Structures are given as C-alpha cells and as structure tokens.
A = this chain, B = another copy of it.
Amino acid sequence: MHNYIRKRRKERHLSQDMLAQKANVTRQTINAIENAKYDPSLALAFKLATILETTVDQLFTKSEDEND
C-alpha cells in the first residue's frame, strides 16, 4: 500500500506529532506509516482519513508491486 498521508498532513500544516495526537496514536506510528514501515489498522486508516478530510480509498492506493 502507498499512501498520501504526508502530503495531506503537510497541506494542513500538521506535524507528525499533531496528527498523532488527533488520531490518538504515537508519533512513531505516524512516522512508520508515512515511511511505509507498515500499514495502519483499518480503524486507524479511517480515523486518519477523517482527520485529513478525505476517504480511505483516496488516502491509500495499492502499490505497484502488490502481489494480488
């Protein structure tokens, strides 16, 4: 999965820490997701989409090398 979290976060002038607080997770979690260390849980994906005023389908896309 690829995501546009960093892009949308910056458009809203939020730091990773501010976004983390709004989403009720740690800054490390946001950092890991932005840097594609792992994907968020579905619940967190929805929470981030809400905070960033978009949809899960727009915020995430299957990346090129996704084997099905």
Give the B-binding residues of A (Cβ under 8 A).
1, 24, 39-43, 45-47, 49, 55-57, 60, 62, 66, 68
Contact = CB atoms under 8 A, between A and B. Distances in A.
B42 A60 contact: yes
A24 B66 CA distance: 13
Contact of A47 (B46, B56, B60, B68): B68
A57 B55 contact: yes
Contacts of A43: 1, 39, 62, 66
Contacts of A41: 39, 41-42
A46 to B, nearest CB: 6
Contacts of A66: 43
